[in-house]
Structure 1
Amino acid sequence: MRITQGTFSFLPDLTDEEIGLQVAYALRQGWALAVEYTDDPHPRNAYWEMWGNPMFDLADPAAVVHELRECRKVFPRHYIKINAFDSTRGFESVRLSFIVNRPPEEPGFELLRTEAQGRVQRYALRAYATDHPVGRRY
């Protein structure tokens, strides 16, 4: 199963050169960038770990690509994404987010169905990765 979260998630993985071009675009927009990682990519897990501090006022995308490479060295089997934050009044939110690293195997999710009163069906997702403790999921 391939996790599809964020921009470009239905496309083949971006190369470092293509990532650099997306970072350059974000910088031209004046957005701040951050690198984040996780071993639990559940869709409701909105709080990934931040790699270093957010990067403000950059001019060269090489700094972001360097931080990405350093994060990959430490967490080669984790999901890593780049977020571009727009601090413009009225937006003040992430405008671009895309996955830039994936584990070699993505086990996916299990769909859990529970019957409730009457004919009501309730559904939930559970990540197969959570069968293992944190740090050993991939």
Structure 2
Amino acid sequence: MKVTQGQFSFLPDLTDDQIRQQAQYAIDKGWAVSVEYTDDPHPRNTYWEMWGHPMFDNPDAAAAVFEVNECRKAHGSKYIRVIAFDASPGWESIRMCFIVNRPAQEPGFRLVRQEGEGRVVRYTIESYAVREPEGARYV
């Protein structure tokens, strides 16, 4: 199962040149580009680990691709994404986000049913990856 989060998630994986073009688009808009990684891609897990520092004053997208490749060397078996943060007043949030690296095998998610008092039934989504401890997933 392919995790579909962020932009371009239904497309084939982006090449380094396509990553550079998207990063350059973000830079041209004045957005700060950052690289993040995780081994828990749950849709509500918005706090991924940041790789390096945000590139606020970076005029060249080649540096973003360099950071992606450095992150791949260290965390190639995890999910890696590129985000673009718009710091302009009124936005101050992520404007663009896309996955640039995936584990070789993506185990997917399962629906967990929880029954409460009376007829209350709650459902949550749980990643199969969280069965393993952090750092041992996707090895």
- Structure 2: which amino acid aligns with 1:2? K
- Structure 1: which amino acid aligns with 2:38? T
TM-score between the two structures when normalised by the length of structure 1: 0.96
Deviations 1:6-47 (A, max 9, x none): 111111111111111100100110100100000011111111
Aligned to 2:45: 45
Rounded Cα–Cα distance in structure 2 between residues aligned with 1:119 and 1:5:
33
Unaligned runs of 5+ in 1: none
Deviations 1:73-102 (A, max 9, x none): 001100000010011111111000010000
Match of 1:88, SS? coil
The number of residues matched between the two structures is 138
Aligned to 2:116: 116
Match of 1:133, SS? coil
Aligned to 2:107: 107
Question: How do 1:15-30 and structure 2 match up within 5 A?
Answer: 15-30=15-30
Match of 2:125, SS? strand
- How much identity, in percent, do the aligned residues show? 60
Rounded Cα–Cα distance in structure 1 between residues aligned with 2:102 and 2:31:
24
Question: How do 1:76-115 and structure 2 match up within 5 A?
Answer: 76-115=76-115
Unaligned runs of 5+ in 2: none
The alignment's C-alpha RMSD in Å is 0.9
Rounded Cα–Cα distance in structure 1 between residues aligned with 2:42 and 2:83:
17
Question: How do 1:36-75 and structure 2 match up within 5 A?
Answer: 36-75=36-75
Aligned to 2:134: 134
- Structure 1: which amino acid aligns with 2:41? P
Structure 1 residue 120: deviation in Å?
3.0
